[in-house]
Amino acid sequence: MKRLTRVMVILSVLAAMMAVFGGAAYAFPGGTWVSGVTVANLSSELATVNIKFYKQDGSTALDFDAGTIAANKAKTWYLPTQVSGLPDPFIGSAVVSSDKEIAAIVNTQFPSGSDPMRVGTSTGVGTPTETVYATQLMKNYGGWNSYCAVQNTGSTEATGVQVTYYDADGNVEDTDTQNIAAYASYIFDQSDDSELADGMYSAKFVGDSSHPLAVVCNFYNSGAAADSSQFHSYNGLGAGGTTLYIPRVVKDYYDYQSGLKIQNVGSEALDVTVTYTFGGTDYTQTSPSIGPGQSWGPYMGSEAQLPSSMAGVSQVSGSAIVAINSPNANKQIIATINEDNRVDPAGRGVTYEAALESDATASLVFPQVTSEYYGYCSGVQVQKVSSGTASCTASFSAMGSISAFDETFSLTDSDPSWDIFAPNGSGMVAGVENDNYNGSVTVSCPGAEVIGISNLSFRYDRDTRYGDVAGDTFTTARGINK
């Protein structure tokens, strides 16, 4: 029997997003926004795919027959040009269905050729949950704001979906309740919430057992110029744990810095130890007490926020582990990781979700990896969470002219992470500006457990065919269990 696999995909914007849409006023970042959807076939057989788009009132905007995807391949639809029949403008949600196991990611972005560019990536939600947490939200915080798109994945209207906002000290600042139609989404716009004071927040969204939620949050600065055009997307998280794994952390790395946001999603105050691993050397940091609902985390670009043992450590890329001290059943954490460049080219930034140990698997899929594809290039980073040495293979596969090829690597306890910049892959075309690779990558580490991320950005230094692009072209997504 064929299994129908559904992936709930929040599409915050598709054809165009205005400051006022459908009679509801939102203080979104200005400009015209569009989306692209990439779906990866995780099976070894041909997959038939359907994408059903929903308006915010729950009515169907378009039932799109997306055709087929070859075994272990991926396909991308840029909605303004490759999905006809959607209303214009449109803001809504979607459900991606297939007769085979699939994974999906969504890019929310300015149209190609915009100056400055803005883009963020979120992951399709395969397992929605009754309660979902968001680690980092803002209202007029140093010029930053945020919003969250919350999708009701139930087949009937969800009444009383509630959000609770916690301030930087863990105090409840505000609550809001909304009804959301079946499969539709509602935008909780922090910048337009009169009950919220200016500041930094974390949040909890609650549905019920018949109406589990999928949540994507975006935070952004003004976009007035290239150096203020950051647009960060991340998925809300429905479950916490006692140990979190972070496959990529950077400090002074080609002018990029990481920042952590660790949220207490339990019912008891806690503190954590963060262990950073750079080049086989560990550095540890203990947090202050973090109250229920509260978020805490250091910015790697500020020496004052880091342990003294890291003084002088620079130009490094590595991984990290976050563990609760004195864990018990009432203590759980989640985390997101930011990475940005505030120097050159200023204005680029991403956010991704830390992984639980239960998220780890022997095989990961990255639905979209590019190499000199319309100027965009990707990197992949993998972290081992199990003990011992892992022998791994990264398999590159695309629809285009480049033949499939493999990269082999090992992960050890002293050096648990590995990364590759896609244009440097052994199977790419020699030289520059001619890979034109847009495909998926599967990482397999038999007998081990790994997590990972892939990122993507415009790289004029590698591909000059399309001119330079100013603004935020940097985006990251978690690898998906296969």
Could you report the per-residue pLDDT of 385-434, keeping only the tens digit for each?
A: 999 999 999 999 876 678 889 999 999 999 999 999 999 999 998 777 88
Question: Looking at residue 388, what is its pLDDT?
Answer: 96
Least confident of 100-104, 312-316, 354-358: 100-104
pLDDT (average), residues 211-215: 95
Do 31 and 68 lie in one domain? The reply is yes
Do 424 and 453 lie in one domain? The reply is yes
Total of domains in the chain: 3
DSSP output for 113-143: T-SSB-EEEEE-BSS-BSEEEEEEEEESBTT
Do 340 and 373 lie in one domain? The reply is no
Domain boundary among 211, 238, 265: 238
Domain boundary among 238, 268, 292: 238
Quote the percentage of the chain above a pLDDT of 70.
94
Do 325 and 420 lie in one domain? The reply is no
Domain around 69? 1-238
Do 76 and 168 lie in one domain? The reply is yes
**Alpha carbons 119 and 427: distance in angstroms, whole number:** 28
Do 7 and 102 lie in one domain? The reply is yes
Question: Looking at residue 40, what is its pLDDT?
Answer: 87
31: pLDDT confidence band, cut at 50, 70 and 90?
A: confident
Does the pLDDT at position 10 exceed 60? no
Could you report the per-residue pLDDT of 267-278, keeping only the tens digit for each?
A: 999 999 999 999
Question: Looking at residue 9, what is its pLDDT?
Answer: 58
Does the pLDDT at position 28 exceed 90? no
Does the pLDDT at position 233 exceed 80? yes
pLDDT (average), residues 47-54: 94
3: pLDDT confidence band, cut at 50, 70 and 90?
A: very low
Could you report the per-residue pLDDT of 70-81, keeping only the tens digit for each?
A: 988 889 999 889
Do 260 and 334 lie in one domain? The reply is yes
Question: Looking at residue 7, what is its pLDDT?
Answer: 61
Domain boundary among 340, 357, 374: 357
Least confident of 112-116, 143-147, 329-333: 112-116
Does the pLDDT at position 48 exceed 90? yes
20: pLDDT confidence band, cut at 50, 70 and 90?
A: very low
Structural element, H or E, at residue 247: strand 243-251
Question: Looking at residue 73, what is its pLDDT?
Answer: 85
DSSP 3-state of 447 = coil
Only one residue has tokens 């991403």, namely 350
Tell me which DSSP letter residue 183 carries.
Answer: T
Question: Looking at residue 284, what is its pLDDT?
Answer: 98
Mean pLDDT computed over every residue of the chain: 90
Question: Looking at residue 313, what is its pLDDT?
Answer: 95
131: CB partners within 8 A, 6+ apart:
204, 205, 206, 207, 213, 238
Quote the percentage of the chain above a pLDDT of 90.
75
Do 320 and 264 lie in one domain? The reply is yes
Question: Looking at residue 8, what is its pLDDT?
Answer: 56
Does the pLDDT at position 222 exceed 80? yes
Do 56 and 205 lie in one domain? The reply is yes
Do 353 and 364 lie in one domain? The reply is no
Do 163 and 124 lie in one domain? The reply is yes
Could you report the per-residue pLDDT of 83-93, keeping only the tens digit for each?
A: 989 888 888 89
Do 211 and 66 lie in one domain? The reply is yes
**Alpha carbons 424 and 430: distance in angstroms, whole number:** 9
**Alpha carbons 33 and 36: distance in angstroms, whole number:** 11
Given phi > 0 = left and psi -120 to 50 = alpha, else beta, which region is 223?
left
441-445-450 Cα angle (round to 5): 85
330: CB partners within 8 A, 6+ apart:
266, 267, 268
Q: What is the CATH number of the domain that holds 158?
A: 2.60.290.11
Does the pLDDT at position 255 exceed 90? yes
Question: Looking at residue 25, what is its pLDDT?
Answer: 39
Does the pLDDT at position 18 exceed 80? no
Question: Looking at residue 12, what is its pLDDT?
Answer: 46
